[in-house]
Amino acid sequence: MIVATPKSVTELKNTIAQHGKVLFVGCGTCVTVCLAGGEREVGIASYAVRMARKIEGKPLQLSQMTIERQCENEFIKDVAEEAAKVDAIVSFACGAGVQAMAERFPGKPVYPALNTQFLGILEEQAVWTEKCLGCGDCMLAQFGGICPVTRCAKRMLNGPCGGSTEKHCEVSADRPCAWQLIYKRLESVGQLDRLDAIMPPKDWSTAWYSGARQVVRKDHRV
């Protein structure tokens, strides 16, 4: 899922300082699961910003709603009626959701309430870790399902580096060495021979360096 973290109340308040009527919109999927942008977080942020504005003597008319997903027009259309009544929208979605909302409401300022972080998983209660950089050419089959592109600090495809230990990456003592994990995993599935192959330099043309990518599935086009 996409993992995001909330912006501070001060930043939110400053961002909408020029507006008197604002709509806070939550997103019911990834950012709800990572406790950053769901109905509950929208409620808490609304209360805090409203209070902050009141203390400043600049009361704010603030409405709030949460939709299933902000990255799909099918759900964004449910915001239209409320959006028409306000000066600006604050989106509690990932960066894709914020931009989808801005495209859907061209005459309306749309501001982000979150900082989008990465594609990751819930590791344990309230701890999320990054697992995928979306490189566009997945190599997990070769590495026992552990991504060195994301999880090795040096993005090594022929690791480990000389600084690895059984427990930690040399770059950070709180991070496991991805190549140690890869070795253990391949050993457990009887595929250590995969490490005999020298991997060529990765083809980064499928990644993000040349700008925003697009996926067109002709088999699903009508």
| Binding-site ranges for ligand SF4 (CB under 6 A) | 132-135, 138-140, 147, 149-150, 152-154, 156, 159-161, 163-164, 169-171, 177-179
Give the three-class secondary structure for 183.
helix
Nearer to ligand SF4, 1 or 135 (CB): 135
Nearer to ligand SF4, 126 or 212 (CB): 212
Least distance between ligand SF4 and beta carbon 176 (Å): 8
CB 90, CB 16: distance < 8 Å: yes
DSSP per-residue codes, 137-156: S--GGGGTT--HHHHSTT--
Least distance between ligand SF4 and beta carbon 207 (Å): 8
Residue in the block written with tokens 């060495």: 177
- C-alpha 59/C-alpha 64 separation (Å) is 16
Least distance between ligand SF4 and beta carbon 216 (Å): 18
Minimal CB distance residue for ligand SF4:
169
- C-alpha 212/C-alpha 190 separation (Å) is 39
Nearer to ligand SF4, 65 or 133 (CB): 133
Q: Which amino acid is at 18?
A: Q
120: β partners: 130
Least distance between ligand SF4 and beta carbon 170 (Å): 4
Least distance between ligand SF4 and beta carbon 181 (Å): 8
Nearer to ligand SF4, 111 or 143 (CB): 143
- C-alpha 222/C-alpha 219 separation (Å) is 8
Nearer to ligand SF4, 84 or 192 (CB): 192
